[in-house]
Amino acid sequence: MGVEIERKFLVQGDDWKAGQVGVAYRQGYLSSDPERTVRVRMAGEEGFLTIKGAARSGARREFEYRVPAAEAEQMLDLLCRKPLIEKCRYRIPFAGMVWEVDEFFGENAGLVLAEIELDDVAQAFELPPWAGREVTEDHRFYNAYLAQHPLNTWPGEDLL
């Protein structure tokens, strides 16, 4: 059984992007129940189906399977809730770790999040200078929530 341990941070500025090449992601949700989500994703030319459990103490169960790209595209177009999540993912090495930075487009344009996956909830790591406020425990910054409540529908409060 897979376990995902990750921390999420808002990204400040755009210094992180210098010289980086990202991969286009398109993803949608077949289920976004808080206890379990079922996601379909196209990452570049590859399709994936992912099932995640609820986050507890910074960790959650995760199962991910490759699916044929044509089938993933059909699920995204015909079965997933709209709007879909559109983003570009960048993998950026920093201090011996790899950070994944997601730059969102479409209805979540303007949002840039950085994630780091850990081996243990207590694992120490160094924050890059562009990592801002931590939002790991803020459900609004999970993709399943953003798919149902896109950033462009949030009230005018300054959350970023």
Per-residue three-class SS string for 86-103: EEEEEEEEECCEEEEEEE
Q: With contact defined as beta carbons under 8 Å apart, do 146 and 135 qualify?
A: no
**What is the C-alpha separation between 60 and 95, in angstroms, rounded?**
25
What is the Cα–Cα distance from 46 to 38, expressed in whole angstroms? 17
Strands 112-117 and 36-43: what pairing? Answer: unpaired
Cα–Cα distance list, 85 to 43, 121, 132 (Å): 12, 27, 22
Pairing of strands 59-67, 46-53: antiparallel
From the list 29, 65, 142, 145, the catalytic residue is: 29
C-alpha to C-alpha distance for 22 and 96, rounded to whole angstroms: 20
29 in active site: yes
Catalytic positions, written as ranges: 29
